[in-house]
Structure 1
Amino acid sequence: MPKFSNNQFTSDPSKGTTSSSSSKDGVKCQNCGFTHTGECRKNSGACFRCGKMGHHIAQCLFPDPRNGPAGGTTPNKPKENKPNARVYAITQEEANNSNDVVAGTILINNIPAYVLFDCGATHSFLSKRFAKKLGAKPDNLAEPYRVATPANRILETHTLYRDISVLIDNQSFKADLIQLNMVEFDVILGMDWLAKNHAIVDCHGKTVTIQIPHQEKLLFHGKTKE
């Protein structure tokens, strides 16, 4: 009669769980080479850390749900102040050194604003100075946004302006803008706004094209601030 080890098992190779070694953290997956539990995320293209689509582990800002405490939480454990938002350029110098931005002047709530279209920013932001011009009432958040900056600083803010008008090519779009202490830009429109509005940023041509399905293309021509 053949003998089987308790450490050996076989399952569907397409799920990446076939292995000859195991531990309390899961099993070593022959599909991706890492130790994990559940279905292998390499097959779906999901982030290896959080399991969400649309980014990879190097850009992930979310915790791994598989690393949560089992059977209750640890008492008196200090809360981690990890960033939940990221901005890549908040000064003109940083923008000039980036290959993922286009800048120019557009109307924000019908007020001329110097705006940065930033593919590297996870969210959209406005300066504290420009916020005073909006005439809009912000939301005061119970949990702050913790924003990682290019200088490896973490800035906290509790202030969010919702449904602010962004006018491009005579058409208005809505944006949720997080208030942030910055000087050289009035507004930064990040990936949340760009993805929602099907925007394509052409850094070489200094243009932003908005291609909404079944509608005519809208085009913004950016330029460098003098």
Structure 2
Amino acid sequence: MHYFISDACVAKLSLGRRDLDCELLVSTLSSGQVATSLVYVRCVIEVASRIFKVNLVCLPLEGLDVILGMDWLSNNHIMIDYGRRSLVFPEPTGLHLISTQEVLKELQGEATCFMVVAKPEKKSD
């Protein structure tokens, strides 16, 4: 459940980095096992004209800038059309429901949020 950015891509961009509280050991095909403790928090990336914020762990990747992975696709309800070699994004619905934890993260990033709180009502027989 981690997303990665290459050292070369980090060198091109001015990103706010943070140290992880621990060292992360990642197995890669090109470099074998690599240890890292650097993460770039809430990086804004654009995919197919859509904006996403992700935390990217820095790795010495060769020939790749960013790896998002299958969990990123499923969390954002994005499908792969293998026949067309493209990504299929869901149609925007206008409303986006998020958890309380996600609201707190957005507010820490100085986002403006509008919130509607819904509480289920118990009906008696």
TM-score normalised according to structure 1 size: 0.38
Pick one of 136, 145, 156 that aligns with 2:35. 156
- Map of 1:1-226 to 2, 5 A cutoff? 122-150=1-29, 153-211=32-90, 214=93
Q: Distance between the aligned counterparts of 1:198 and 1:135, measured in 2?
A: 29
Equivalent residues, number: 94
Q: Shift of residue 178 of structure 1? A: 0.9
**What secondary structure is seen at the aligned counterpart in 1 of 2:19?**
strand
Q: Distance between the aligned counterparts of 2:72 and 2:9, measured in 1?
A: 19
Q: Distance between the aligned counterparts of 1:152 and 1:183, measured in 2?
A: 9
Q: Distance between the aligned counterparts of 1:134 and 1:212, measured in 2?
A: 31
The answer for unaligned runs of 5 or more in structure 1 is 1-121, 216-226
Q: Distance between the aligned counterparts of 2:82 and 2:57, measured in 1?
A: 24
Q: Distance between the aligned counterparts of 1:167 and 1:200, measured in 2?
A: 17
The answer (yes or no) to whether the contact 2:30–2:62 under 8 Å persists in 1 is: no
Q: Shift of residue 177 of structure 1? A: 0.9
- Which of the two has higher C-alpha Rg? 1
- Matched residue type, 1:134: L
TM-score normalised according to structure 2 size: 0.64
- Matched residue type, 1:126: I
Structure of higher RCO (CA pairs closer than 8 Å, 6+ residues apart): 2
Q: Shift of residue 146 of structure 1? A: 1.3
The answer for unaligned runs of 5 or more in structure 2 is 95-125
Q: Shift of residue 182 of structure 1? A: 1.1
Identical aligned residues as a percent: 29
**What secondary structure is seen at the aligned counterpart in 1 of 2:20?**
strand
Please list the CA deviations of residues 158-203 of structure 1 after superposition, one character each: whole Å capped at 9, or x if unmatched: 0111111121332211111111101201111113322221111223
Q: Shift of residue 213 of structure 1? A: 6.2
- Matched residue type, 1:171: R
Higher normalized helix content (fraction of residues) = 2
The answer (yes or no) to whether the contact 1:123–1:191 under 8 Å persists in 2 is: no
Q: Distance between the aligned counterparts of 1:149 and 1:189, measured in 2?
A: 14
Q: Shift of residue 151 of structure 1? A: 6.2
Q: Distance between the aligned counterparts of 1:181 and 1:160, measured in 2?
A: 13
- Of residues 147-156 and 135-144 in structure 1, the stretch that sits farther from structure 2 once superposed is 147-156
Aligned to 2:105: none
